[in-house]
Amino acid sequence: MSDQPNGNGQSAATNRQFNIGRLYLKDVSFESPNTPEVFSEQVANPDIQLNLRTSQRNLANGFVEVALHVTVHAKTGDKTVFLIEVEQAGAFQVVGYSADEARAIIGIACPNTLFPYAREIVSSLAQHGGFPNLYLQPIDFASLYAQQASQAAQPAGTA
């Protein structure tokens, strides 16, 4: 891809900006409704269900807020061991990119930036709840974004 000069002789790529304005925790919840009884039961390997989603909203001056919503539900049988919900967010400046490039940055780079913070909070909450550390594995947001884009490109009613 070649950079085309704009009206003032600079290439378009020099006007591109992807910056972190601020990272912040928007919401957090920890529930362990079956304590202390759950500690006396055999819950060495609970079933862990991880759900991720992102949301975004436009802010002023080329900034967009991206929020990564992480839900971790640990169960043994039909009994909840713990439920953790984290909404880690950031204000990111994304200017000078095409619409497709901006969507990819918001769908890949922003969640990649937010995930380590959310992962640390999840692990800390589990430990402070009296449970062993919970290490969430790295997430390939590029693959998730490509999968989501592929699904969105399919006509309605096809699988």
CA distance 138 to 133: 15
The two structure tokens encoding residue 9: 């002789």
**pLDDT at 40 (0 to 100):** 81
Helices (H) and strands (E) in the chain, counts: 4, 4
* Rounded CA separation 69/51 (Å): 8
Tens of pLDDT along 6-58?
555 445 556 899 999 999 999 999 999 999 988 887 666 889 999 999 999 99
Q: Which domains does the chain have, with CATH numbers?
A: 15-139 (3.10.420.10)
Contact between 35 and 42 under an 8 Å Cβ cutoff? The reply is: no
pTM (2 d.p.): 0.83
